[in-house]
A and B are shown apart, each in its own frame.
Chain A
Amino acid sequence: MSMGHNDPRSVPRKEDARLLRGQARFLDDIEPPAGTLHAIFLRSPHAHARILGIDASAAHALPGVLVLTAEDFPHLAPLSPDLPLAGFAPVPRPIICTDTVRFVGDLVALILAPDAYIAEDAAELVLVDYDPLPAVVTLEDALADGAAEVHPQAPGNLLFQNRTATEGFDAAFAAAAHVFREDFSASRVATVSLEPRGCLARHDAGLGETTLFSSTQVPHLLRNTISTALGIPESALRVVAPDVGGGFGMKASVYPEELLAVAAARKLNRPIKWVGDRQDDFLASSHARDMRFGVEMAMEADGTLIGFRLDVLANAGAYPGIPFGSSIEAGGGPRTFPGPYRFKHYAFRTRAVATHTTPSGPYRGVAAPVGFMALEGMMDRAAAALGLDRAEIRRRNLLVDADYPFINASGIRYDNGPHHALLARALELSDYRGFATRDTDPDRLRGIGIACITEQTGQGSARYRARGLLRIPGIEAARLKVEPDGSAVLFVSQTTQGQGHLTTFAQMAAESLGIAPEHITVQEGDTALTPYGSGTFASRGVVAGGGAVITAAETIAAKMKRIAGHIMEADPADIILRDGVAEVNGVPGLSISIEEIARAAHAMRPIGMPPGETFGLDTTQHWDQPVSSVSAACHVAEISIQRRTGQIRVERYAITHDCGRMINPMIVDGQTHGAVLQGLGPVLMERLLHDSEGQLMTTTLLDYTLPTMLDMPDIAMDHIETPALDTLGGVKGVAEGGTIGAVPALVNAIAHAMRGYDINIRAIPVRPETLLRAISTKDSR
């Protein structure tokens, strides 16, 4: 049972009632305007082929059907995400394929019909003549000598590469008492937001304005990208994210379907609606975490870390994603790897590899879940080799208070982090010491695993510039408006997909305004209403969006204090805003309501404004988080394996967590629970499978199995709130740490359960048949 539910800060969410009553408005719930054409995208059935011709005559013969191909969009320029920095291959992504397809799912044609059923009929009638070409599917295929090249601009199929070493690295490694080596790998996974992607584009020819509703995490980036690609002024384009049924990073990319819907709506002057189905989603929404980590770890004789050498590979798929580019996973892997440990020497080589598969993109934790499987897997290996308890080897290397502020080996600043306390408390919460006494069932092998992790949150503009991602501003903004009746509206540049922004941001603004959260309405996801910003991804909400909210609320609070001081003839510095009134400190009984101040600010009271003050309570404030904020956690997973079947069951799960000062602990816990699910699935079952030709074999939820209520344990959770020093309000980001911790904790628990068997657990998912083979080989001996 989690602890957050009883905390007074855990106010129930403002967003719930309409979701519970079926009154929400997800993309497909928007009533299509009269004359809407329903779109189906015809996708390549080949991983790599030349398009010799497209015959759409039979489809065109159906009433009301239109088939559009690249020829119909001659002015659509390919998209290119990355700055011309060293290490990046300048590979563009065509919005619709012209002569070559590069993955199963690549877009070939747009089929439009008066209803979605007829569009499906028409799609079956379009004949495309393909000349199949050799395809590279896996990292091995793509890196082999003489491999087919996915793009001529990326020799050797390298989309991005980087390498670096700290000074004195080789000498430090040469002098190490121990060097441990291992290769870790993860299968490719899909995000599977329960709502697939979709969009609705509507053009008003008279006004020259186009509105795009899209199930997206990044309305402003989407608008900016469409504007550039289609040559439409941003001012004539409005992007609205309605209720979004989960995103988890996958909907933080801009996709060709969105651009084509806008282009078609403008070309035909008809509304265009596309709602992807589950197969569209598996084929054409970004994949993730198809990665390898080759790790060498150097240690002193007593288990003190000296450093790491990494060789990281990420299968980036057929094109760089927009806007995160080809380096999202390959760059993120080494950047997030160092975790909560003290070591100085670090060298890595990392490569993003092009293959004829669906492009990879951001998914909760990006590369970090796999990176921490490698890091924490190495800690366990070292503990075994040195005869140390697995908690003890971590204690010898975790950062301590005296280390802060600490700049880690990849240049990330840590302002604080209670890593020892998190570990100690997690061991108590999980009864780590009592594990042996619980080990009784002879039919099950039991194991317990620890993971100490960090989560880099709240990246600002400097991080995105350093990564060469000019399309991502990294800033956020908030406009706060107090109405004449004293209620407030907060417009935030981000957008929510279930994270509870409408509640959390209202709580944050309420702190300085003295207006109750229920009287603060939060609006997001509409470029016409909200100020420009980046969007919701990378655990930036409470740090970057929250920074803008706090700044806006403090700006308005200061003005309300000046007005209140003017009305009550008191020093604004003595005014306290709370519970809907402005009080004068030290003068009991002297107060006026916030409503009174708001009316005065809107020229609705006999008394005017203070000299030099403008009317209105309305401000827009931007926030650029100067340095990333690092959250931390310790996960302890206890699992059992049925000897007869190799099936894994998660028995107990404990998390201790620090995300700085919490605004709403109930929401923080909920984010963490959900994040654990998205680490547990890829460890126990999830994997996208391709055949050797690049055909995706897992395109339904029957083939791609997701964890259910029978797979997920209850979670014991405790927080050690350590207010951040580098952010506004002491907050740190949250939402990815659960995934980053679950993967290593579960993998280490499985490896622990299999101690004594001839098996090396270093790849996920861990399949029952793999375990069963090792178990039966030994047990039958």
Chain B
Amino acid sequence: MTDTQITLTVNGQRHSRRVPTRMLLSDFLRHELRLTGTHIGCGHGVCGACTIEIDGATVRSCLMLAVQAEGAAITTVEGLAGEALHPVQQAFHEHHALQCGYCTPGFLAATIELLRENPDPSEAEIREALHGNLCRCTGYVNIVHAVKRAAELMRA
């Protein structure tokens, strides 16, 4: 197997590694950098659990090779909170918008992107924007409530 040298920034930290060319970006983040907050639910880009932010846009990290992220700036779930939770995380906590928590990192990334583009989304806009992420626990009811609350928190 051929290896390739890549350099990229993850959560503000620069990494330079040799990786097998065929290694998925999700596996690179999880197993090489040990950032295991990004989860794999399907491996074929449908469930959205592996959603991360690359250069300001959400991407399904299971559909990209690590080598394709050469030079990129990536934010994963580990990079969202400081001492305090990010307002979207806080709203998910207050509104019980997570149960097992496996899909949650993907929902957080998708929500942050939505609220950046549309700080005051209607319920229909929330549902349209997040329907590419699957959750099996919550029935989405409290996720919708939490996103509305997160919008309030972030506008405040």
Contacts and interface: CB of A to CB of B under 8 A. Distances in A.
B36 A28 contact: yes
B20 A117 contact: yes
Central interface residue in A1, A243, A709, by most chain B CB within 10 Å: A709
B108 interface: yes
Given A701-B46, A709-B144, A710-B131, A676 B85 contact: no
Contact of A708 (B38, B85, B100, B134): B134
A21 B39 contact: no
A26 interface: yes
Interface residues of B, number: 60
A192 B41 CA distance: 9
B92 A20 contact: yes
Contact of B137 (A21, A674, A706): A674
Nearest to A702: B46
B120 to A, nearest CB: 18
Contacts of A26: 36, 39, 102
Contacts of B37: 21-24
Given A20-B92, A278-B43, A700-B44, A673 B102 contact: no
A598 B28 CA distance: 48
Interface stretch (B2-10, B53-61, B64-72, B75-83): B75-83
A507 interface: no
Interface stretch (A88-96, A169-177, A427-435, A493-501): A493-501
A130 B139 CA distance: 43
Contact size range, A: 35 or more
A246 B133 CA distance: 16
Nearest to A704: B46
Contacts of A243: 100-101
Contacts of B100: 193-195, 243-246, 497-498
B118 interface: no
Contacts of A497: 100
A702 B44 CA distance: 9
Contacts of A714: 123, 141, 144
A715 B139 contact: yes
A20 B137 contact: no
A632 to B, nearest CB: 20
Interface string A241-269: 00111101000000000000000000000
A16 B89 CA distance: 9
Contact of A22 (B78, B95, B141): B78
B143 interface: yes
Nearest to B143: A709
B40 interface: yes
Contacts of B43: 277-278
Interface string B135-156: 1111111111100000000000
B141 A673 contact: yes
Contact of A20 (B85, B131, B136): B85
A21 B131 contact: no
A192 B136 contact: yes
Nearest to A1: B145
B38 A22 contact: yes
Contacts of B41: 194-196, 245, 278
Interface string A539-573: 00000000000000000000000000000000000
Contacts of A10: 96
A626 interface: no
Contacts of A1: 145
B112 interface: no
B47 interface: yes
11 contacts: A1-B145, A5-B95, A194-B47, A194-B135, A194-B136, A195-B102, A244-B100, A245-B41, A245-B102, A278-B41, A675-B139
| A-B pairs, 4 with minimum CB distance | A22-B37, A19-B101, A245-B102, A498-B100
Given A16-B93, A278-B42, 20 more contacts: A12-B94, A16-B101, A20-B92, A22-B36, A22-B77, A24-B37, A26-B36, A29-B36, A245-B39, A245-B100, A498-B98, A673-B139, A674-B99, A677-B138, A700-B46, A701-B47, A706-B136, A709-B126, A709-B130, A712-B141
